[in-house]
Amino acid sequence: MFLHQVGHYLPEQVVDNEHFTKLNGLSDEWIVQRTGIQLRRKAASAENSHTMGVEAVKALTDNIQVDIKEVDLIVGATYTAYDTIVTLGHAVQHYLEIPNIPVVTISSACSSLLNAVEIVEGYFALNKATKALVIASEHNTGYYNETDTVSGHLWGDGAAALLITKERLYEGDMEIKALLTGGAATSGKAIEAVVLRPNERGVIMPFGRDVFINACTYMPKASLEVLERCGLTIEDVSYVLPHQANLRISVNVMNTLGLPEDKLISNIQYLGNTGCAGCAIGLSEHWNRFQKGDRIIITVFGGGYSYGAMLLEK
């Protein structure tokens, strides 16, 4: 499989830490020290995971070298659904006006992006598609409880879109060398550590320490496994783009892998935790930075617990 192009969308409103100082008494220093977050984006009242996903597709379409109408598979990824019947994938299909193609939306917490790519891999293997559009979009502020002093200050909104093809179309395409996902629901506080129950009080994180420990375990483990599948070692890695949950987790992952922080790609400092869209947004932000021969590991971990890793080569 090959990644042809990535595009992303961010809402205009910027929320700084002072907002949570006034609301909850949490200082800027306290938030930055524990999370690395200084700013985050918040969707406007008329925005949601559907509208942001469509905007990401528009950004993608501006830079692709193929006709978007050639897309024959759409896969959405989100855990902050605007509509649980008309899904993110179908909203994008409606916008693109491409009829009679497979459309599906998946939710596996913050790992949903890689599960969506894995669905594409399956369709390609079965010769049911050749050009796929993956959209990751999260409207965290539509669900969160911002007065929650444990996790209310973590969340940001945003979306990204990826065009993936079965065969290489252009020299600048990135090859998806290896991809794995897994469920770790048997570990720790998996089914209660991070929950989003709209009928109760939105997204909460009662066992943040357990999340931290397991994220720091599974993301390096998955990263090393995808490298092993390709006959590579950690020395062959150019960049690591981990799930944007907490800067301390990202740094811990780099230390566990034995990699310098200048190989870390991170946007949580100015976007907050954008869920399963975070890695895709980061990939889009740095797309023009990557050079021929670069190898990028995307590694993720989400509530539930879900995890995965993907190796890209320019």
Which is it for the CA torsion 226, 213, 115, 55, positive or negative?
Answer: negative
> Does residue 176 come out as left (phi exceeding 0), alpha (psi in the -120 to 50 range) or beta?
beta
Topology of 2-165 in CATH?
Peroxisomal Thiolase; Chain A, domain 1 (3.40.47)
The strand ranges marked E within the chain are: 2-9, 13-16, 39-42, 73-77, 103-106, 131-139, 157-165, 174-183, 195-197, 202-204, 239-242, 295-302, 306-313
User: Mean per-residue pLDDT for 66-70?
Assistant: 96
Give yes or no for residue 203 having a pLDDT over 90. Answer: no
* Prediction pTM value: 0.96
* Percent of the chain residues past pLDDT 90, beyond the cut: 95
pLDDT digit string (tens) for 94-142?
999 999 999 999 999 999 999 999 999 999 999 999 999 999 999 999 9
Do 103 and 166 meet the contact criterion of CB atoms below 8 Å apart? no
- What is the domain partition of the chain in residue ranges? 2-165, 174-313
Contact 73, 32 (CB under 8 A): no
User: What's domain 174-313's architecture?
Assistant: 3-Layer(aba) Sandwich (3.40)
**Considering the chain, what percentage of its residues have pLDDT values greater than 70?**
99
Tokens coding 4: 């042809």
Domain 2-165 and domain 174-313, same fold? Reply is yes
Q: Tell me the average pLDDT across 3-11.
A: 98
pLDDT of the residue at 298: 98
Place of tokens 């993608």: 60
Tell me: pLDDT of 75 over 70: yes
Residue 257 near residue 240 (C-beta atoms within 8 A):
yes
Rounded to the nearest 10 degrees, the angle between the axes of helix 247-257 and helix 208-229 is: 40
Residue 159 DSSP one-character state: E
